[in-house]
Structure 1
């Protein structure tokens, strides 16, 4: 292998919350002379191409999703699926083992970088001499707290044994622990998320985390020690130039231009996090009661009859906030909106990529996590990093109300940017990012052996 370029094949789960970090990493590696081949279904390719932000190129290889009863053959990502279909999709992924074996045999990459859904990857790749790296797209905190090798029968409200004492997370609320039980559940007889993640970590040659030591050093070390594996880091994967407002159409620009600098509250929960009618009413009324201009973006699940947006809003709400408040459904140019000078506060579900986008944009963060790793991301931001204000909720039920929303926004605005400026500086530091990618490439080559390091 002496003199060969490193060839890394990537296989993310068919969900754009997973695909996007893989594409960001593919961009970064390609700029460091790594040959990258990304696997996905054909209908996902146009969007994958649109996610790439560099002039450097990586290869995309199409794979076929095997037929599964109950899973429409035309659907290739979770964004188009019901919850039950998403679980069936994992079974379809399991049925891809022979196909992946054939692809690895033909293309002979040095490394396959895989997602949680491909817990079987080492059994396929290792006999072919291909190194397997498990890429966790979640925060190191959430992985360390939840997916250690002995968490199945433990009290999820408390950290696992040996958890970093420096952590601000001494316990989690009962409603958060209850939500975490999902990762231990089996659907349609398939492995649970916990089983997939822990087997991936046990069997891989190294773990790759979308993180950096400056933000999550103790959790990274904990993961490495618990699994006895090297943990390689991507560092901050910058989504775009934070100074740009690209993608803003005329309507959005004119509306945002009408407000003072830093005065607008922008609220979004991503494409796959949904609020019910009561939550929507409390959220928008809380924003209304701040007296600030605001914009809310909502999405609704695929199953059942999709509600009309107007039916989900409080009576008289639109008239009361006319001119300073708007609620939209579906896709919006989020990065462009947050880059606009008038936007100063971001209410987010605390998805990891969304939190990073908020910090990069310089917005004050208001954290309203709804499920899974979002709870840990919110605690990381408010507790460990000193950025953001969590919306207060009932510890047992997880419910929140309009006053809690109003108070969190007012507090975030009052606190100002604070530690956010420090972390923003780190995230946009080109030299730091480059250093992490160089170290990642060096670590990959070290695992493979025989390549120029």
Structure 2
């Protein structure tokens, strides 16, 4: 392990749970290797750092007011609290660009300012800020290498749908390994909703293209999982540095606590409930921090879990702004009574890493967000896929068609699963004979080996620390290269 000191790094997360948490885990690993870390957040996101700051008190914070923005509700500073409208997250992304000048002021007044910026790939505008400051910017990718490569291709070539009414038309990516092909409506909405000349769209396009010319990129992935796609990105973004340092997961007791907010069931009670279940008998159901299911989806899922006869833990996100009362995130009346003893419903945040790591978990019904995918891979838990948006369709295809660690159950944010078929699939997923289980265990061992001393991710992390440490002694012009 590298153990150096002196280099000061500014870390800037995008304010969404799935973006903040992995970059905080990266920050921890950088700090324990001797780097001086300052994390930039807005006031209402500061509590998310509590666990990290208590574990690693050397980490500093830069707390800046969230910029006022006309189309965002007052007081909202995190994507999880946004209204349901698709463009709300894009507005937040645009709003954060107003922090350029406050950050610049902070840098210019700091007695020992950072020698590099590590920022979320949604914050591409920080590349121009870094250039203005004469320091390099490193992209932190919250997706895997395959979706990142796909998104890079889209913003570089700007393809259009020949027939706007044919959203199922497929788009091919022949230059990416295995020449993947995806329906238009399964591509990232951050590209699909682009409107030429629109200020928000043009700001996003500029930021996405800035990612392609930044000094380096850090992936929360590992060579044994996405080797050929990581190699493609290295060639595609040359001469940029590319480090695959994942899976980035919490260490020690942090994984057994609530890191994302309030919960209706304390983490200790969840683990005690799981302790009473037999090995591999429980299906864990969770769709991340942003997805809120409609009433019809909730009913179909509840019916499927009920009919499966399997034990389950279901993490439910309740409705936020923009959801019609009683139509979203509501557990059907009487359901919890019917499944009492074999089903546990959690409203709010669930200690997902700890749940997936429990011996009783046999499968994971997931939206295929990248963090969830990695957490399941580390735990050796096979998956049932229900991708909703963003990179999730690409992740699901990777899991099912290439890695063989998952089965499909549904696709799309508006789709409603067949409860009878869902019940059959859930029952199969907690059986000892499910073929995906063997491959999931193999991939888990590969992930463990990657982060162990001498493993691929361990080496890349040490290399990243070394490169960042050397920046403090390089000439300014070289830093910007």
TM-score for both structures, normalised by structure 1: 0.86
Matching residue of 2:97: 94
Change in CA separation of 1:185 and 1:401 when aligned onto 2, cut-off 3 Å: farther
Deviates more, 1:265-274 or 1:442-451: 442-451
Q: Determine the C-alpha separation between the residues in 1 that align with 2:392 and 2:329.
A: 27
Matching residue of 2:205: 195
Matched, 1:276 2:294: yes
Task: List per-residue Cα deviations over 1:267-298 (Å, max 9, x = no partner).
Answer: 01112112112222222222222221112111
C-alpha root-mean-square deviation of aligned residues, in Å? Answer: 3.2
How many angstroms does 1:309 deviate by? 8.9
2:170 to 135, 157, 167: 157
Change in CA separation of 1:349 and 1:176 when aligned onto 2, cut-off 3 Å: same
Matching residue of 1:135: 140
Matching residue of 1:105: 108
Q: Determine the C-alpha separation between the residues in 2 that align with 1:390 and 1:412.
A: 11
Q: Determine the C-alpha separation between the residues in 2 that align with 1:244 and 1:109.
A: 29
How many angstroms does 1:340 deviate by? 3.0
Structure 2 residue ranges without an equivalent (≥5): 162-168, 259-265, 476-481
Would the aligned equivalents of 1:279 and 1:400 in 2 still touch at CA under 8 Å? yes
Change in CA separation of 1:112 and 1:324 when aligned onto 2, cut-off 3 Å: same
Q: Determine the C-alpha separation between the residues in 2 that align with 1:242 and 1:268.
A: 22
How many angstroms does 1:87 deviate by? 3.3
Matched, 1:357 2:357: no
Matching residue of 2:459: 435
How many angstroms does 1:140 deviate by? 0.8
Matched, 1:371 2:389: yes
SS in 1 for 2:446: helix
Q: Equivalent residues in 2 for 1:177-256 (5 A)?
A: 177=187, 182=192, 184=194, 189-191=199-201, 195-228=205-238, 229-241=240-252, 249=267, 251-256=269-274
Q: Determine the C-alpha separation between the residues in 2 that align with 1:212 and 1:192.
A: 32
How many angstroms does 1:348 deviate by? 1.1
Matching residue of 1:18: 19
Structure 1 residue ranges without an equivalent (≥5): none
Q: Determine the C-alpha separation between the residues in 1 that align with 2:45 and 2:196.
A: 27
Change in CA separation of 1:219 and 1:323 when aligned onto 2, cut-off 3 Å: same
Deviates more, 1:105-114 or 1:150-159: 150-159
Q: Determine the C-alpha separation between the residues in 2 that align with 1:178 and 1:129.
A: 32
Would the aligned equivalents of 1:211 and 1:235 in 2 still touch at CA under 8 Å? yes
Would the aligned equivalents of 1:118 and 1:200 in 2 still touch at CA under 8 Å? no
Task: List per-residue Cα deviations over 1:103-148 (Å, max 9, x = no partner).
Answer: 2223321111112333222322213221111211111111112332
- Number of residues paired by the alignment? 445
Would the aligned equivalents of 2:368 and 2:395 in 1 still touch at CA under 8 Å? yes
Change in CA separation of 1:197 and 1:287 when aligned onto 2, cut-off 3 Å: farther
Would the aligned equivalents of 1:157 and 1:177 in 2 still touch at CA under 8 Å? no
Change in CA separation of 1:38 and 1:244 when aligned onto 2, cut-off 3 Å: closer
Q: Determine the C-alpha separation between the residues in 2 that align with 1:102 and 1:311.
A: 43
How many angstroms does 1:306 deviate by? 6.1
Matched, 1:28 2:19: no
Matching residue of 2:262: none
Matched, 1:329 2:347: yes
Change in CA separation of 1:241 and 1:390 when aligned onto 2, cut-off 3 Å: farther
Would the aligned equivalents of 1:202 and 1:227 in 2 still touch at CA under 8 Å? yes
Q: Equivalent residues in 2 for 1:119-134 (5 A)?
A: 119-134=124-139
Q: Determine the C-alpha separation between the residues in 2 that align with 1:43 and 1:188.
A: 29
Deviates more, 1:77-86 or 1:201-210: 77-86
Matching residue of 2:261: none
How many angstroms does 1:173 deviate by? 4.0
Change in CA separation of 1:95 and 1:222 when aligned onto 2, cut-off 3 Å: same
